[in-house]
Amino acid sequence: MTNNIEHVAFFLPDLQIGGAEKVFIQLLNEFSVSHFKVDLLLSQDVGEFRHLVNNNIEIISFCTKAQSKPVLFLSSLRGLFFYVRKYRPKAIYSTLTGANVVSLLVSLAHHFLDTKFIIREANVNKNNGLMYKCLSKLLYKRAHRVVAVSEGVKRDLIKSLGVSASKIVVIKNPVDIERVREMAMSERADPWINEERSAVIVSVGRLFPQKDFETLIKAFKLVREQNAAKLVIIGEGPERDKLERLVAMLKLENYVKLVGVKTNPFVYLNNADVFVQSSKWEGFPNVLLEALAVGVPIVATDCHSGPAEILNGINGCSLVPVGDERSMADAILREFEQPTDTVQAETRLSEFSIASISGEYKKLLK
């Protein structure tokens, strides 16, 4: 290695659209322009986010073709084992439970090396299956450091997985404010939004039970009783059919649009009158930071954990109980009339700059 340049690697399952993937791409890109040699390690080199990775970062994939999850797990285990043995980086940063488990299993075999194994956990309460839960409980406490993305996740790591508080450091997620704002203005909005101009509600997330879009759609039905609004849901997942049936049952087909995955959701945020997050639980929802950056009023469930840590104290942002469509509808109607306090939003956003957050990750190397 050249003097003053340290070698680090970031390990992810793939580059599919997701919050953890977006965070790691921002971090590794920033590392790569500040005296680090950076490798991106993937179980499989697939995903819509690939074009966001800086050209000076080497991408190494441990499995070259589509495989079942068990094969991907074993291929990643073998690939990471030999990668660490050959290159001996200063640190391996990993995120998402599967990658974290693989990383820590490899650390057991390389305990005699100086490589630090640093894992990031955004959500302890997700459905990972019994094997991953057991392995997490056994292995997480062996990490050099465990990054929790919120105080709530830290408490879960201590309570559910038995990780020592002294081993956990809370580092919240970054947001690229300039990029979000540039992308928000870079395209024209979906023409459907501007047809017969009415108030627009936007939500973003995978169509999974965790996101509880069912409650949002029911709340929207109540909103429609007082306001001729439209609802746009950005994301894809196994609940699409169920949600479409609910929309039809409530006779909302002309007012609700499930637009699927969008690489630029910010143009929708820029044309929204209110952004809603209806989740049953979260780790640290970056989309709330992105909504703040665009300046759209926000309604979010006061779920465990993250939303309150982001939104408390900002006028134009409401927290409502989980699963309560009436409270959600009332908050949406209020926020139609209450713009977000831009000074308060800017002050809060300054805490989550990429430079600041990546600096916290770099401190873990020392």
The pLDDT-based confidence of 2 (bands split at 50, 70, 90) is very low
List Cα–Cα distances, 332 to 26, 82, 317, in angstroms: 32, 53, 10
Give the whole-angstrom CA distance, residue 146 versus residue 169.
6
Question: What does the pLDDT look like over 229-252, one tens digit per residue?
Answer: 999 999 999 999 999 999 999 999
Other Cβ atoms closer than 10 A to 326: 12
Average pLDDT over every residue of 276-301: 94
State the maximum Cα–Cα separation within the chain, in Å, rounded to a whole number.
Answer: 66
Does residue 1 carry a pLDDT above 70? no
Between strands 230-234 and 200-204, the pairing is parallel
Nearest to 203 by CA among 219, 185, 218, 216: 216
Nearest to 352 by CA among 8, 9, 15, 27: 27
Question: What does the pLDDT look like over 51-71, one tens digit per residue?
Answer: 999 999 999 999 987 788 888
Torsion of CA 236, 241, 246, 252, to 10 degrees: 70
CATH 3.40.50.2000 is the classification of domain 178-350: yes
Average pLDDT over every residue of 112-119: 93
Count of positions (residues) in the chain: 366
Question: What does the pLDDT look like over 89-98, one tens digit per residue?
Answer: 999 999 999 9
CATH architecture of 6-171: 3-Layer(aba) Sandwich (3.40)
What does the pLDDT read at residue 182?
A: 95
Q: What residues does each domain of the chain span?
A: 6-171, 178-350
59-63, 81-85, 301-305 — which is least confidently predicted?
Answer: 301-305
